[in-house]
Structure 1
Amino acid sequence: MTDHLPARLGLSQQFDCSYLTDRQEQLLVILEPSCYSSEKFEALLALGFRRSGDQIYRPHCPVCSACKSVRVLAQQFSPTKSQKRKLNKAKNQFTVTYSQQERLEYYPLYSKYITQRHQEGSMYPPEQSQYQSFLFCQWLPITFIELWHQEKLIAVAVTDCMNNAISAIYTFFDPDFEHFSLGTLMILEQIKFAQLHNKDFVYLGYQIDECAKMRYKTQFLPAQNRVADEWLTI
């Protein structure tokens, strides 16, 4: 499994790319039921796959290879000066908690985030059914890393947990607090979570150099990109 793909795979139809407007996107989808476990999924992450809802996939576009899986080497990570400034700005402002269960506060926060921050995206307008099918999973443990301002929930990082790695699925937050760089803060909290639980990697999804909003993932170093079936140091 770590060296080759499972036998049962599917290929989606082509559709408009969510990140590069002049491209078409196509996905390779895992169809083998035995792959849908924490152990097998961790091996598939190392092959460049990712989860959306209950489905495991990776880009398989006919004329584009812009998407590169990126993973942070968690135990070697140290924040940059800029990241330390963000941490210091947020210090004493927020409380971090972990949950294995969804809270009623999640969807209203998600809806506010999508409505105010991503009106141009495919998830707008937000819908409860889409939120559920995108973020949640029946076959894998999920940890919700929460950021609270007093009694107010202001950010949630949906995080998949495996034996030796975690995978950052999606973060949503209250736009009223965006001046605290909450996107960066929540990745730093995921790395901290990985360090505390002796995980080797934090998978951040796909880096797309040609898409400005997807370049931030290279700011967390040391890290690796998967290029031509190899993990290379960024």
Structure 2
Amino acid sequence: MLRRMGTDAHGEDELRLFHTGEHACGYWPGRVARDLVLDPRDPRLPRWYPLALAWGFRRSGDIVYRPHCAACRACVPVRIPVARFVPNRTQRRCLQRNAAVESRVCPAVRSDEHLALYRRYLQSRHPGGGMENHGAVEFDQFLIGSWSEVRFLELRERGRLLAVAVTDLADGALSAVYTFYEPAEAHRSPGTLAILHQLQWARREQRAHLYLGYWIGAHPKMDYKRRFRPLEAFDGRGWRDFDPDRGAFA
């Protein structure tokens, strides 16, 4: 156990934080990583989760964590202020190119269709990474968990499922947990399209922020987040406007 978080909104005892041991970095080969993890056994975790998002944490399954590496600060928590977001030219073209795609928010209940798409995505995008053999149990554990308030944002074209954006609901915000899509449609930028539809969803419900997890500069799978402007980043104490091109706060 490393430390305790402050008193919750109900005035109850603090929530414990743990420091994990070193493990292989999931982003950079040859590096080691450590995380701060909220006590996964605490029954109040669903209540703490919105506050944890505001402190730069993220959910994976039932685990709420934040990278806390000794010699690296590459993982920067970022979010989009929904009311201030304006799509750029490339993003407008993405919407136009996918004008026939419809989005639907639905309960986070795994179907055979979801699982088949997820497996095709992993086998194409993450071969040899240990996830390509995920089945139904791993799908539920990794994406849905047991306590989070989560929804699936489906993107379909004439009924055909193109992408699923797993999205958590939080007080005044949405959190983009994971998106998987049809590998053969990668040229249509389905990941970008999913974020744009999540932003439309957040705007409809007057949610202030869409959390995107961690931006990692120059990382080929994480750097796309810099294209969404304005972007806010967590500096360890609060959220500030962030310029990812310079890797610095505005």
TM (norm. structure 2) is: 0.87
1:157 corresponding residue in structure 2: 165
Provide the secondary structure at the position in 2 that maps to 1:194: helix
Give the 3 Å change call, closer, same or farther, for CA 3–82 of structure 1 in structure 2.
farther
- 8 Å CA contact retained: 1:2, 1:46: no
1:117 corresponding residue in structure 2: 125
Q: How does 1:181-192 map to 2 (within 5 A)?
A: 181-192=189-200
Q: Give the aligned residue type for 2:223.
A: R
Matched, 1:48 2:56: yes
Q: Partners of 1:205 and 1:7 in 2: how far apart?
A: 22
1:228 offset after TM fit, Å?
A: 3.4
1:145 alignment partner, one of 146, 150, 153: 153
Q: Partners of 1:41 and 1:231 in 2: how far apart?
A: 17
Q: Any stretches of 5+ residues in structure 1 without a counterpart?
A: none
Share of identical aligned residues, percent? Answer: 35
Give the 3 Å change call, closer, same or farther, for CA 119–211 of structure 1 in structure 2.
same
2:94 alignment partner, one of 78, 86, 90: 86
Q: Partners of 1:7 and 1:25 in 2: how far apart?
A: 23
Q: Partners of 1:20 and 1:210 in 2: how far apart?
A: 11
Deviation sequence 1:215-234 (CA, Å, 0-9, x none): 11121111201123332212
TM (norm. structure 1) is: 0.92
Matched, 1:99 2:106: yes
Q: Any stretches of 5+ residues in structure 2 without a counterpart?
A: 9-13, 243-250
Most deviating of 123-132 and 82-91: 123-132
2:238 corresponding residue in structure 1: 230
- Choose between structure 1 and 2 for higher RCO, CA contacts under 8 A separated by at least 6 residues: 1
Q: How many residues align?
A: 231
1:57 offset after TM fit, Å?
A: 0.9
Q: Partners of 2:145 and 2:163 in 1: how far apart?
A: 20
- 8 Å CA contact retained: 1:42, 1:162: yes
Deviation sequence 1:170-191 (CA, Å, 0-9, x none): 0000112112110100010111
